[in-house]
Chain A
Amino acid sequence: MKTVISFDLHADMGFLKKPDINEKVYLTYNMLHKPCVLGILGAIVGLQGFTKNKEFPNYYKKLKSIPIGIKPIGSYCDNGNFSKIVIKYNNATCFANKGIEGNPNVQAILNIAEQTLIRPAYRIFLLLDLEKENEQTLYNRIRQQEASFIPYLGKNDYSAWWYKEDVKTDDGAILFQGVKEYNILQDEFKDNYKIETVFVKQKPVVESVVEEGEEDDFSDNFQISDFGTYVYFEKLPLKYNEQLYQYDYADFALTDSKLKVGSLPTENLYHIQEQDSRQRFVVQLN
């Protein structure tokens, strides 16, 4: 049996390292990406991580086929962006930096500068096949707010967590959403649709978004919110390239605009309905 669940991952800070810069300052991705989520899922199940060069860890081999969707959330998320700070610190053990100028025998302090996300939070959608043992474990553990290893966002200084049930304020408003389960609806995507998650863009987004005046503004369904206010772009890792042992990238976008029919391939689009609130929306699970 296949099911879609979502959980909201929160952290005080986060660092999702970009592998393409390794000097002066380490940079972070703004958006969580699939290879990183797989590591977190591995921690939840309790599968082994990277140990050897040129060998994929257990968690990756076993979980890589799970389709995953990601949506940035929370009050610190500004149209998909989280604010960032560059944290500088010392590695003062003197083990990591060999050589003060002119004297390679003297060990020195290493300065590190790291761009860090402030208050990142993401809703993670998973399409789980409950007949597979690991995915059944994931399903149970996520719903019980349990994990074998304590998850973190990029560095183990930045603990991450989620809530199994909604956390409400005193007047009943939802502060943090808990774990949700969804039914998959039959849909051939013959109407324009809004997409909740970040998606792999196939062509310029400007050609895909529905603009004001294009739809029948006077129809009964018309809502002013159908016309979006922003489009967010980021080049993100999509998966590992298993020959080169490095990330394969794709151009991702996020928008609150409606997209035209046929803007995206429909294979990994899912129209889902939350089981309790009956809310429906479209997600892309890669």
Chain B
Amino acid sequence: MNFDNRVFGCAIVKAINSNYNADFSGQPRTLPNGIVYATDKAFKYTVRYYFTKMYPNEKVFYFQTPKPDTGNPRSLDDKYNFLFKDTKDEKDKKIVNGNLLKCIDIRLFGATYANKAKKVNISIHGPLQVNHAKNIWHENNIYTEQIKAPFADPKPKKEKTEEGEESFDEAAMTTIGRQSKLQEGHYLHHFSINPQNLKDPLEVAGELGTALLKEDIIKLKAAMRQGATFYDSASKAGTDNEILFWLQLNKDSKLILPAFTDLVKTLPEKQEGKTVFDFEKVSQLLSCFSSEIETIEFYINGQSAMAINLPEGCTSLPLFGNNGEEA
């Protein structure tokens, strides 16, 4: 079954003593006014990571994988040949489009496929577009701590002995490194889904094409609800999914909605240790468009967060678990 409704929504990722998305100095990314933000790539990475680990049968194209012999990453061409073994030297746009659309990440995020070796250039505008996130918590406290490396510096000082022979002065100490974290942050990513975006590549691919499926959406929701929590690394421990707000419009609705970045607020005071998210402005906005809305789903981690002023007709569901959706 194809999925063909337009969707707007937001995904909130919390980071407690964690570094969800660092800049090239290792600090959480900040705007010139000091507000912490994250790129869309950070969130999309958690979704792709979840796909590769939880749905090993799904093809995920834009994700780094190692070559089995050398361990070096695969090139674009290698990856294509690895995923689509039967169509090695294919240049036909119809077949290439069809193959690319077999990958769940391309059906969602799109692709820029520029294969120089085969002289094929294909650009697929993905239905799912994730925006950069802004921290909607009232503080942006970044701290840096020093950490000691367990090993000595591999480049010890060279010294000449009296006889003129070279000897190495072994380092007496190990080196000190630094890591930075955000004390508390609630990153809000606005996103939209417009299945219409796949119309052109589907036309080119003809009977070989795969449209955005209802099953894809179920898997996507699972990844958007759990992907960040699922991905634990040293710096991402403490980064968890918190909320997924999913606003599905009627089938032929062409409505455009503003980004929810400024509409969802957090209250500065926690209640019973839970962060309070205020959806009043979202509710106000949606009250004008109630005839265009099919469903509103609201997933929340009830242990750490609560929401007030949710829009009418909104069903609240737990963030984790399959909520009876996944097969």
B275 contacts A by Cβ under 8 Å: no
Nearest-neighbour CB distance to chain A for B246, whole angstroms, equals 16
CB neighbours (8 Å) of B254 from chain A are: 141, 144, 146-148
A88 contacts B by Cβ under 8 Å: yes
CB neighbours (8 Å) of A56 from chain B are: none
| In contact, A85 and B256 (Cβ under 8 angstroms) | no
Question: CA separation between A117 and B319, bound complex, in Å?
Answer: 34
B164 contacts A by Cβ under 8 Å: no
| In contact, B255 and A146 (Cβ under 8 angstroms) | yes
Q: Contacts A12-B261, A93-B64, A118-B31 hold; do A161 and B256 have CB atoms under 8 A apart?
A: yes
Contacting residues of chain A (138-163) with chain B, CB-CB under 8 angstroms: 141, 144-152, 156-159, 161-163
A71 contacts B by Cβ under 8 Å: no
Contacting residues of chain B (41-67) with chain A, CB-CB under 8 angstroms: 41, 62-64
Question: CA separation between A127 and B200, bound complex, in Å?
Answer: 30
Contacting residues of chain B (110-141) with chain A, CB-CB under 8 angstroms: 110, 123, 125-126, 129-132, 134
Q: Contacts A83-B32, A85-B32 hold; do A157 and B132 have CB atoms under 8 A apart?
A: yes
B79 contacts A by Cβ under 8 Å: yes
Contacting residues of chain B (221-271) with chain A, CB-CB under 8 angstroms: 253-259, 261
When C-beta atoms are compared, the residue in chain A nearest to B130 turns out to be: A157
Q: Contacts A152-B129, A157-B130 hold; do A95 and B196 have CB atoms under 8 A apart?
A: no
Question: CA separation between A96 and B130, bound complex, in Å?
Answer: 21
CB neighbours (8 Å) of B197 from chain A are: 149
When C-beta atoms are compared, the residue in chain B nearest to A151 turns out to be: B256
| In contact, A94 and B32 (Cβ under 8 angstroms) | no
Question: CA separation between A146 and B257, bound complex, in Å?
Answer: 9
Interface residue tally for chain B (C-beta within 8 Å): 42
Q: Contacts A12-B261, A156-B125 hold; do A150 and B131 have CB atoms under 8 A apart?
A: no
| In contact, B256 and A146 (Cβ under 8 angstroms) | yes
Question: CA separation between A106 and B73, bound complex, in Å?
Answer: 7
CB neighbours (8 Å) of B192 from chain A are: 150, 159
Residue from B24, B75, B123 whose CB has the most chain A CB atoms within 10 Å: B75
| In contact, B132 and A48 (Cβ under 8 angstroms) | no
| In contact, B129 and A157 (Cβ under 8 angstroms) | yes
When C-beta atoms are compared, the residue in chain B nearest to A106 turns out to be: B72
CB neighbours (8 Å) of B63 from chain A are: 93
B180 contacts A by Cβ under 8 Å: no
A25 contacts B by Cβ under 8 Å: no
Smallest CB-CB A-B distances: 9 pairs: A94-B73, A146-B254, A95-B76, A161-B258, A157-B40, A107-B73, A156-B129, A107-B75, A93-B62
Q: Which residues from chain A sit less than 8 Å from chain B, CB to CB?
A: 10-13, 46, 48-49, 51, 83, 85, 87-90, 92-96, 98, 105-107, 111, 118, 141, 144-152, 156-159, 161-163, 165
Between-chain CB contacts (< 8 Å), 23 pairs: A12-B132, A12-B259, A12-B261, A13-B131, A48-B200, A85-B31, A94-B64, A107-B73, A111-B24, A147-B256, A149-B125, A149-B194, A150-B194, A150-B256, A151-B256, A156-B110, A158-B131, A158-B132, A159-B131, A159-B192, A161-B256, A162-B256, A165-B288
